[in-house]
Amino acid sequence: MTPAMLLVVGAANLLLVPAFLAGVMRKVKALMQGRTGSPVLQPFFDLAKLWRKGETVSETATWVFTWAPRVFLAANVLVAILVPWSGVALMGGLPYAADYVYVLYLMGLGRFFSLLGALDTGSAFGGLGASREATLSVLVEPIVLLSLGALALQSGSTDLSTLFSGPVTPLVAVLSGFALLIAALGELSRMPVDDPTTHLELTMIHEAMILEYSGRGLAQIEAAVWVRACVFFGLASQALLRAWPGFENLGGLAQYGLGLAGLFLVGGLVAVAEGLLVKLNWRRVPHFLAFGIALGLLSALVAAARG
C-alpha cells in the first residue's frame, strides 16, 4: 500500500473498528444468550449519549480524577497508532517506534493513571477494582513479554512492525497467539476473569474502577477500553495468522483484509466463549492466567531452541 492509502486506511481503522468490534461482540453475546440484543452500532450511540450528558464528580476528587481518563485515552490511542493490530500501523513510517516494550509500558502509563483515578474518590469500590487490576497486570505482563519475545526472537527485532513482517515458525505463532489471547482476557477484564456486564460490585474489577465516572469522563474510558481491546485481540489474531505459512506471500491489502477478519473472528469467539463460560472465582483467576504463562514459556522455549 502507498503511504497515503496507509494513512487513510489506518485512520479509518482507528476511528471505526474499535467501537464496531465492541458492538459486534455485544451482539454475538446477546445472540448466545437468546436475546436480540442492541444494534451493532450501539457503542457509537453510547459514546454520543455520554458525550452530551452532564457529569457528577465526587467532592473528594482532585485533578487526578479529571486528568486520569485523558492520559488513559491518549496513551491507548497512541498504542493503537503504533501497533499493527489489523496488519497496518498508522505510524508504520516511524522506524522502531512500535517497540513492544515501549508499547507495554505506555499501556502501563495508562493503567497507572486509571488506577489513580479509581483511588481518587476514596470509594471502596475504586480501591477494590484498582487492587485487583494491579494484581492482574502482574500476571498478564509476563505472558505478553514471553509470547511477543518468542515472536521477536524469530524476526530479530522488538519492533512490532518488523516482528509481524518476517517468517515465523507456525508452532511459535500458535503458542504465542493463544497465550496472547489469554493475556487479552485478563488485561481486558473479560470472562472468565471478570464479567464486563456484572453489576454486583464485589465481583467486579474493571467496572468497579470506573464506578465514579460519568458523562464525558466515562466516554473517554469506554473509548480507551475499546481501543485497547482491539490492540490485544489484534495482536493475538496477527500472531495466529502467522501460523499459516502462506500468509507472508499475500499482498498488503489481502493481509489487511485477513487481519480485520481475524480480529473480528477472535472477538466473536471470545463473545461465544463468554456465552458458554462462567466467571471464575477471583482466587482461581491466577490458575487460569497460569495457562497463559505456560503457553508463553513453551513458545519462548521453542523459539530459543530454533533461534
Partner 1 sequence: MELPGGTACWYGMAFALWVVAALLGLVGRRGTRIGLPLLVEAGCLVTLVAAAVGGDCRFALPMPLYLGLAPAAFLADGLSRWFLLLIGLVGAAVVPFAPAYLRHLERRVSLGVLWAALAGLMASMCLVVMAANAVVFLVAWEAMALTSFALVASDHERRSVRQAALVYLCATRVGTGFLMAGFLWLHQITGSWVFSQWSVSGAQALGPCLLILVGLATKAGCWPFHLWLPVAHPAAPAPVSALMSGVMIKTAIYAMARLFLLGPLSVPLMGPLLLVLGAISALWGVLFALLQHDLKRLLAYHSVENIGLILMGLGLAGVGTSLGSPLLRDGGLAAALFHTLNHGVFKSLLFLGAGAVETGAHTRDIEQLGGLAKRMPWTAACFIAGSAAICALPPLNGFASEWVLYQGFFALARTGPSVVTRLSGLLLMAWLGVIGALALGCFVKAVGVVFLGRPRSHEAAHAHEAAASMRAPQVLLALCCVVLGLLAPVVVSHLASVVRPAGQVGSAGLLWNLPLLPLAVALVLGVLAVAGLVTAGSRRPRERYITWECGFGELGAQTQYTAASFAQPILRLFGRVYSYSLEVAIEGADHRHFPESVVVTTGHEPYLETRVYRPLLRLVQRGAGGLLMRLQAGSIHQYLLYMIVALGLLLWLGARP
Site for partner 1 in 258-297 (CB under 8 A): 282-283, 286, 296
Does residue 304 bind partner 1 (CB under 8 A)?
A: yes
Q: Which of 30, 31, 40, 119 is in the footprint of partner 1 by CB under 8 A?
A: 119
Please choose, out of 36-44, 140-148, 183-191, 228-236, the segment that lies near partner 1 by the rule CB under 8 A: 140-148
**Candidates 1-9, 207-215, 235-243, 271-279; binding stretch for partner 1 (CB under 8 A):** 207-215
Q: What distance, in Å, lies between the first and last C-alpha atoms of the chain?
A: 31
| Shortest Å, Cβ 66 to partner 1 | 9
Long-range contacts of 279-284 (CB under 8 A, 24+ apart): 279/191, 279/192, 279/193, 279/194, 279/195, 279/198, 279/203, 280/192, 280/193, 282/132, 282/203
Residue 55 and residue 215: Cα distance in Å, rounded? Answer: 5
Angle between helices 124-155 and 215-241 (to 10 degrees): 30
Exposed/middle/buried for residue 269 (C-beta within 10 Å: 0-12, 13-18, 19+): middle
Residue 36 sits in the site that holds partner 1 (CB under 8 A): no
CA 28 to mean position of chain CA atoms = 18
The stretch among 20-28, 136-144, 232-240, 266-274 that binds partner 1 (CB under 8 A) is: 136-144
Cell of 146: 514471553
Question: Applying CB under 8 A, what is the total number of residues that bind partner 1?
Answer: 85
220 part of the interface to partner 1, by CB under 8 A = yes
Q: Which of 138, 253, 254, 261 binds partner 1 (CB under 8 A)?
A: 138
C-beta closer to partner 1: residue 86 or 220: 220
Instruction: Provide the mask over 58-97, with x wherever binding to partner 1 is found by CB under 8 A and - wherever it is not.
Output: xxx-xxx--x-xxx-xxx-xx--xx-----------xxxx
d(CA 295, CA 291) in angstroms, rounded, equals 6
Q: Which of residues 155-174 bind partner 1 (CB under 8 A)?
A: 156, 158
Q: Near partner 1 by CB under 8 A, which window of 5-13, 29-37, 49-57, 180-188?
A: 49-57
Burial (CB count within 10 angstroms: exposed 0-12, middle 13-18, buried 19+), residue 265: middle
Name the residue type at position 58: S
* Of 273 and 294, CB closest to partner 1: 294
